[in-house]
Structure 1
Amino acid sequence: TKEPFHLASFGFGSTHHDRKIIDVGGIPNLIPTVNRSSLFDLRDVARLAGCAEPCFLTGAGAGPFDTVGVNSEMMTNVLLRDLKEPTLGDKLSSHISLVSGEGRAKQSSLQEARCGLMMNLLATQGLPGGEVLEVKARTRTGRENFVTTMRLALEELPEVVALGGVFVTESGTAHLHVMPNFSETPLNTNEDVNNWLNFYDVPAPLVCLSVFVNRDPGMALRVEHTHCFIP
């Protein structure tokens, strides 16, 4: 909850080691054309996934475009005390990033537990004292980014392994994309998507929420997804 992480709960601990990754929606809700019915309540998502209460969700996806007003990137960071209805004990500390009319990236807080299109989540009870894997990196030595490098290091394991959590960039610059509002023309190729996206070089510090799996076990999972916000 404190610097440098600014999370909605104290840790990633859970009773009986109950931690989950959750893949909601997906790219087909965005391309080639947007599916405007793809809106999700995170309480419903957590309940359907069998999460325990309280439920601490962190991850990367898209914002609820019906209330935000436009398409946006979402950095989910919520603690839900009750998965049936909102309570005063909930902590809604998510962020969204969108592209302004002038083409600038604009970040703001989001105080609701909903998302749109897609979301990749780590779900725990947010209890202190849970075991975590600490990874420190100082200098980039190859082509791949930090998350992809970790994922590829686990790719050869015989079992499917998923990791989720938070990391902080303390120095340097990150090359990030932000989705603009929905495309008026179909996005049929990767080139179409890259031409539609807006890219920005964002200086540290950044708080990054990530979920990745070393390989897809035949479930059409997104193998990695990371979004960052400026604390």
Structure 2
Amino acid sequence: MTIMPNNPPIFSTRKIDLFVPEREELASVLQNGLRYHFVEATVEWVDCPDLTQEPFNLATSGLCGDAVISEISGMSYLFPFMESEFQYSIKRIIKEIYNNFNNGLIIGASICLRLQQQYLVQLGELIMNASFSRITEDDIEIINKSHLAFLDETTGRCALESITNSDPHCYPHGNFFISEGKPGQVLKVRAKKRIGLQFLTALQYSLEKKYSSGIYPKLIGLGGTFVMKSGRARHHIMPYNWDNNLTNARSIHNWLHYCDLDAPLVAVGTLLSSNLVYKDACKFSDLEVCGLTETHFHTFSSNGAAGGHFYTDLESMDPVEYLGYFYPARIFNHVDPRPSCNELIDFTDVMRLATI
């Protein structure tokens, strides 16, 4: 696998062609993998339902068409020091990097700066959900249906607000799935009664074991949405005050604010099969070695009360059940890649501490 450097006017971007398996093989791999970890699990290709309807409420009806996964920078923009000047315009990302799209969908998980009283800045968990259309060569219209989960300083609890502005921004790091948002065949994934790995980890591990190990490893990417229909799940949101001593997983774990949210919960995000495949590809292409985030999903409660960065369901609660719709991406783009901070690539190690 060779990385193709790409240098648009504003961003430094690395581009990789993702491997897209045969449809029935991909469904079989995911289903067989899930059945090690859930009592009930099925994965099949179906006509995509209208995802603008409950419970998903996406900005377009489908996920299909020329799909791309994009990762924005990395956690070293956050840790150990927050570099708040690095904000990215979603409109600019679409306009200058994905200039072959005329209409589409952008969903995913990122971080967003939240202004309080016009002066104070707070970080929140961005639940990106928007459609876009190209008006002219230089202008894009965005219909924004996103949410932001944040820590309410007055109550000390997780809160949620809608973000409807037409020029949304994200603050690294983040992961987005971008497609034409068309109807078509998608992967329908159902899983119930967990007995092993949590839902996202089970999906990622199934892909990694089949495609990203061995002599000729391949990188697979999926994006989409799922609803956790029953149970309770652990999430994090960013604390109100920053700590400049966040240098490893343990210190970040102790700093984050955790909340356990009851189903139903709706999630959007991306899943990639192997960080190691990407790091090896960087070495092979004589590029600075950077990591990618294997799974990154943010959720919000269907009653609009709360949300955050999804970790795992809590096994001690009532039997958990998931329903998801996913679509394979053909390209992975890494915008402004940057080496990790103390080998801290994403929240994987933090997640492990939070679920002990």
TM-score past 0.5 threshold: yes
Counterpart of 1:137 in structure 2 is 191
When residues 184 and 160 of structure 1 are mapped into structure 2, their CA distance, relative to the original with a 3 A threshold, is closer
Counterpart of 1:61 in structure 2 is 110
What's the CA shift string for 1:56-85, capped at 9, x where partnerless? 100001013458941100100010112843
Counterpart of 2:64 in structure 1 is 13
* 1-structure distance, mates of 2:218, 2:175: 20
Query: Secondary structure at the residue paired with 2:194?
Result: coil
* 2-structure distance, mates of 1:200, 1:21: 28
The Cα shift of 1:182 comes to 4.7
Counterpart of 1:178 in structure 2 is 237
Query: Secondary structure at the residue paired with 1:109?
Result: strand
What pairs with 1:35-46 in structure 2 (closer than 5 Å)?
A: 35-46=83-94
The Cα shift of 1:86 comes to 4.8
More strand by percentage: 2
* 2-structure distance, mates of 1:155, 1:29: 27
**What amino acid maps onto 1:105 in structure 2?**
C
* 2-structure distance, mates of 1:99, 1:45: 28
Query: Secondary structure at the residue paired with 2:201?
Result: helix
* 2-structure distance, mates of 1:48, 1:150: 32
Asked if the contact 2:229–2:265 (Cα under 8 Å) also holds between the matched residues in 1, the reply is yes
* 2-structure distance, mates of 1:182, 1:81: 37
* 2-structure distance, mates of 1:163, 1:78: 18
The Cα shift of 1:117 comes to 2.0
Query: Secondary structure at the residue paired with 2:267?
Result: strand
When residues 224 and 182 of structure 1 are mapped into structure 2, their CA distance, relative to the original with a 3 A threshold, is farther
Q: Structure 2-normalised TM-score?
A: 0.60
**What amino acid maps onto 1:178 in structure 2?**
I
**What amino acid maps onto 1:91 in structure 2?**
I
Correspondence 1:52 to 2:101: yes
* 1-structure distance, mates of 2:300, 2:200: 16
Q: Structure 1-normalised TM-score?
A: 0.91
Correspondence 1:97 to 2:149: yes
The Cα shift of 1:181 comes to 2.9
The Cα shift of 1:111 comes to 1.4
| Structure 1, unpaired ranges of 5+ | none
Counterpart of 2:180 in structure 1 is 125
Correspondence 1:75 to 2:127: yes
Query: Secondary structure at the residue paired with 2:261?
Result: strand
Rg comparison, structure with higher value: 2
* 1-structure distance, mates of 2:222, 2:158: 28
Counterpart of 1:2 in structure 2 is 53
The Cα shift of 1:105 comes to 0.1
Counterpart of 1:148 in structure 2 is 201
Between the two proteins, the alignment pairs up a number of residues equal to 224
**What amino acid maps onto 1:8 in structure 2?**
A
Query: Secondary structure at the residue paired with 1:194?
Result: helix
Equivalent residue in structure 1 for 2:296, among 204, 225, 230: 225
Asked if the contact 2:95–2:140 (Cα under 8 Å) also holds between the matched residues in 1, the reply is no
CA RMSD of aligned residues (A): 1.8
